[in-house]
A and B are shown apart, each in its own frame.
Chain A
Amino acid sequence: METIIEFKNCTKSFGKNTVLNDISFKIKKDTGIVSVLGKSGSGKTTLLRLLAGLEIPEKGEIFINGKTVCKNGKNIIPPHKRNIGFIFQDLALFPHFTVFENIAFGLKLKKQSDYKNTVNEILKKFEIYSLKNNYPNQLSGGQQQLVALARSLVPEPEILLTDEPTANLDVKLKKKIEELLNDIVKQNNIIILSVTHDHKDAIKQSSEILMLNKGKIAFFGTSDEIIHTKNISVTEFLEI
C-alpha cells in the first residue's frame, strides 16, 4: 500500500532543547486513525506542527504522498498547499466570525463558488445548523469542538491533525466526537493523526499508535502490538 506520510531523520530543536531527535516513520494510506502518545513535553504537538508546516525541522525530510514538503530546514510546500486539516488544542476558532463564517473561511479562500451549500451541508451533518449565526463565545465547549472539526473537514483534507480533540469534554460529548471521527475516516478515507493523553481511548480507537519518549519514537505499531510489547518505557507509560 502507498505511503501517505513519511518522516525521514527529522530533528527539531527550540534553542538548546531538542524536542524531536532524528525520528523516522511511515504511515500508509487507509490506515485510519493514528494516535500519538507520550508524556508532556515528549514532542507530540511538535510532530503535528512539523507535518502541518507550522514548524520546520532543522534536519531531515518530510514527505506527503511521496512529495517532499520540507527538506534541509526549508518548507518546500507551504501549510495550506499540503491538504491538511488541523484542530488546534485551543480550537483557534476566530472569535469575531460566526460559526458559518468560521467554517466558510477556508472555502472562500479557495474561491469555491457554492461554498454556502457546502457549509450548510456540514452544519446539518454535525447538527449545528441552528448555531450558524452564533459567535464562538456563545457556544458550549462541545459545540465549539464540533465547529472546529467542521471547519477543518470542509476543505476535504487528506490528513486531519487533531491536538487532544476530546480533552475537557464530558463522556457523552467525547463519545459523539469519537464516533464522528470514525465515520469521517470510513466515509472520506482520510488519515487522522491524533495527539492524546488517554492511552486507553487511543488503543480502542486507533489502527496504529506512535509513542514518543524524550523526542524519540518509543513505539510504532498497531493497538494489539502495543498491548503485548515488552518495551519498558511503553509499559511504564501505559501502566500495563
Chain B
Amino acid sequence: MKTPKTKYFLWLIVAIFAVTILLPLLMLIFEALFTETNFAFDNFLTIFQGEVLKSIANSLIISLSTGLLSVIIGTGLAFILTKIKLPLKNILRLILLLPLFLPPYITSVAWTDFWLFAGFPKSFIYGIPSVIFILTTVYIPLSAFIISGSLENVSASIEEAGEMMSSYKTVFFKIILPLIRPALFSSFILIFILSVSEFAVPSYLSVNVFTTEIFTQFTAFYNYSSAIAHALVLTLICFIIIFPGKHYLLQTPFVSFGKKSHKIKYYSAEKPFIYFLVYLTYIILFVFLPVMMLIIQSTEGSNFALMQSIKQLLPAFSDTFLLTISSAVFITILGLIFALLRNKILDYILLFTFAVPAVVTGIALIKFYNTPALNFIYGTSAVIIFAFISRFIFISEKIIATGLEQIPPSYLEAASVMGASPFYSFKKILLPLTSEALFTAFFTAIIFSIGELSAVIMVYPPGISLLSVRIFTLSANAPQNMVSAMCLTALLFTLIIIFIMLIIKNTVFKKQWKQS
C-alpha cells in the first residue's frame, strides 16, 4: 500500500489534520502561557482561589472514582461474560452496552427522575456521589467490553498450566490479572478522560466541576484569558494522570475482531443461574430502570410532553443525523490513514488530541477559527466536524489499527507476487478484511458524537441545531416531564440509529467467509 506516491498523499492528509485540528490546540496552550511576549502569570492566579480549587478537587474526585469503580465492576461483569457459559450471552452483551450508547445527560435525567420519584434527599441527588454513580453506570460497559476482549485473549492452555500447579485464586491473581493489566489500566485512563471532560451530568446535577468553571469563565464572564488558563491547567492535570499509563492506552486493543486462534477457558459454575441472575439484576437496575423512569416521567401530566418534545427537537434530528454521519465518515477515513501510517509520533499526537478535555477543545477551536480570515469555517458546521474529529479520532484509529494488525502480512505479499498493485491490494484485500473494524470505528464515532456536548456547545454556529445542545439548553427552563420526554426522544433517536446500523452490519456486512 505504501508506495512513495501514496505515502506522500497520506502524509499530506496528516498535515491538513495537523493544521486544522492540532494547531488550534497547540496555539491555545501557547496563548495560555504567554500574553503578547510575557508569561501570563496573572491568569493562573485566579485558579488558586477557593472555589476554583474546589471545582478542580470535585473534577478529580468524580473522574478518579468513576474510573476506579467502572474498572472494578466492569472486571467482574467481563469475567462472568467471558469465562462462564451463560444462556442468552450475546443478547446480554448487547444490552450491557446500551448505557454506553446513550448520551450521559440522558442517563442523568433518567436517574434524577428515579431518585425524585423514590423520594431520595435532594442533598444526595444534587451532589458528587450521584454524579459518580451516573457516570459509573455509563462507563461500566466500556470497561467491561475492553476487559472482556483482553480476557478472551488469555489462552486456555495458560490458565490450565497454572491450575496444574496452584489454586484458581492464585491463577487469577498471579496469571490472569497481570495478563489483563494493560486492559485494566487503559480502561481506567479512557474513563478518566471521558469523565473529566463530562460537562452535562455535573451541570445538570448542579455540581461545580472544572469544566463548568471553564465554561462559565468563557461564556458568562467573557474572561477568555482566565478560561484559557483554566483550560491549560485541566489539560495538564489530564496529562499528569495519563502519562504513567500511556503505553497501556496505546497498546491495548479496544475491540477484539475475528476468531481466536486459541481456546478460551470456560468455568463450569456450580450454580450458573446465580451468575445469570447477577447479570440480569444489573441489567434491570442499570439499564431498564432508568429508561422506565424516563417513560413514566414523560407521560406524567396531560400535556402530551412526548409529542411536544418531538416538535421541539424536530429541527435537531436532521442536523444531528447529517453532522454525526459526515463526521463519522471523516473520522473513519482519517483513522484508516493514521492506522496505515502508524508510528509513535502519530500515536502521541492522537493521544494528545484525545487527552485534551472537550471543553478545552471547544475553546481552542473558537480561538483559532473565530477570526475574520477563518470565519468561513467558524460560521459553518465544519467547526463541529473538527470538534468531533478531535475528540474521537484516537478511538477510531485504535479500532482500525487493531483490525489491520490482524491481517497477516503474507496476504499482501501473496497478492504482490501475483501482480496486484498496491492500490489493487488495498481495494481487494485490505479494505474487505478491515471492513468490520472500519464499520465498528464508524459506528463508535456516530454514537460518541451524538452524545458529545462539552465541545460542541462552545462551537455550534447559529442555524445549526444539535440534539445534545438543544436538550441541554431547553432543559434549563423546561418542566421535569418535558426534560424527560426530550431525553426519551433523544434515546429513541439513538436507538433507531443503532438499529439501522445493526441491520446494515447484519446484511451488507454479512460474510459467509466469517462463518465456520
What residues of chain B lie closer than 8 Å to A94, measured between beta carbons? 411, 414-415, 429
Q: Is the CB of B417 within 8 A of A109?
A: no
Q: Is B418 an interface residue (CB 8 A)?
A: yes
Q: Tell me which of A81, A92, A95, A105 contacts B513 (CB under 8 A).
A: A95
Q: Is the CB of A96 within 8 A of B419?
A: no
What residues of chain A lie closer than 8 Å to B408, measured between beta carbons? 90, 92
Q: How many residues of A contact B (CB 8 A)?
A: 28
Q: Is the CB of A137 within 8 A of B419?
A: no
Q: Tell me which of B416, B428, B432, B514 contacts A54 (CB under 8 A).
A: B416
A78 to B419, CA, bound (A): 9
What residues of chain B lie closer than 8 Å to A78, measured between beta carbons? 416
Q: Is the CB of A109 within 8 A of B513?
A: no
What residues of chain A lie closer than 8 Å to B512, measured between beta carbons? 135
A69 to B249, CA, bound (A): 44
Q: Tell me which of A53, A80, A135, A137 contacts B420 (CB under 8 A).
A: A80
What residues of chain B lie closer than 8 Å to A105, measured between beta carbons? 415, 418, 420, 428
Closest partner residue, chain A, to B408 (CB atom): A90
Among A85, A89, A94, residue most surrounded by chain B Cβ atoms (within 10 Å): A94
What residues of chain A lie closer than 8 Å to B415, measured between beta carbons? 94, 105
Q: Tell me which of A81, A96, A106, A136 contacts B433 (CB under 8 A).
A: A96
Q: Is A73 an interface residue (CB 8 A)?
A: no
Q: Is B507 an interface residue (CB 8 A)?
A: no
* Per-position binary interface string of chain B over residues 426-449, scored 1 when its CB falls under 8 Å from any chain A CB and 0 otherwise: 001100110000000000000000
Q: Is B160 an interface residue (CB 8 A)?
A: no
Q: Is B51 an interface residue (CB 8 A)?
A: no
Q: Is the CB of A52 within 8 A of B420?
A: no
What residues of chain A lie closer than 8 Å to B416, measured between beta carbons? 54, 78-80
A138 to B514, CA, bound (A): 10
Q: Tell me which of A80, A88, A90, A151 contacts B419 (CB under 8 A).
A: A80
A33 to B338, CA, bound (A): 44
A135 to B513, CA, bound (A): 6
Q: Is A16 an interface residue (CB 8 A)?
A: no
Q: Is B405 an interface residue (CB 8 A)?
A: no
Q: Is A200 an interface residue (CB 8 A)?
A: no
Q: Is A100 an interface residue (CB 8 A)?
A: no
A97 to chain B, nearest CB (A): 8
Among A84, A96, A136, residue most surrounded by chain B Cβ atoms (within 10 Å): A96
* Per-position binary interface string of chain A over residues 55-95, scored 1 when its CB falls under 8 Å from any chain B CB and 0 otherwise: 00000000000000000000000111100111011101011
A155 to B516, CA, bound (A): 29
Known: A90-B408, A90-B410. Is A96-B511 also a contact (CB below 8 A)? yes
* Per-position binary interface string of chain A over residues 152-192, scored 1 when its CB falls under 8 Å from any chain B CB and 0 otherwise: 00010000000000000000000000000000000000000
What residues of chain A lie closer than 8 Å to B30, measured between beta carbons? none
Known: A90-B408, A92-B408, A92-B410. Is A155-B418 also a contact (CB below 8 A)? yes
Q: Is B163 an interface residue (CB 8 A)?
A: no
What residues of chain A lie closer than 8 Å to B411, measured between beta carbons? 92, 94
What residues of chain B lie closer than 8 Å to A155, measured between beta carbons? 418-419
A84 to chain B, nearest CB (A): 6
Q: Is the CB of B513 within 8 A of A79?
A: no
Q: Is A110 an interface residue (CB 8 A)?
A: yes
What residues of chain B lie closer than 8 Å to A96, measured between beta carbons? 432-433, 511, 513
Among A80, A110, A151, residue most surrounded by chain B Cβ atoms (within 10 Å): A80
What residues of chain A lie closer than 8 Å to B513, measured between beta carbons? 95-97, 135-137
Q: Is the CB of B516 within 8 A of A80?
A: no
A114 to B168, CA, bound (A): 62
A residues near B, CB below 8 A?
52-54, 78-81, 84-86, 88-90, 92, 94-97, 105-106, 109-110, 135-138, 151, 155
B residues near A, CB below 8 A?
408, 410-411, 413-420, 424, 428-429, 432-433, 511-516
**Knowing that A88-B413, A105-B420, A135-B513 are A-B contacts, what are 11 other residue pairs whose CB atoms are under 8 Å apart, sorted by A's residue number?**
A53-B417, A80-B416, A86-B414, A92-B414, A94-B429, A95-B514, A96-B432, A105-B428, A110-B419, A136-B513, A155-B418
Supply 11 A–B pairs (Cβ within 8 Å), ascending by A: A79-B416, A88-B410, A89-B410, A92-B408, A92-B410, A95-B433, A95-B514, A105-B420, A109-B424, A110-B419, A138-B516
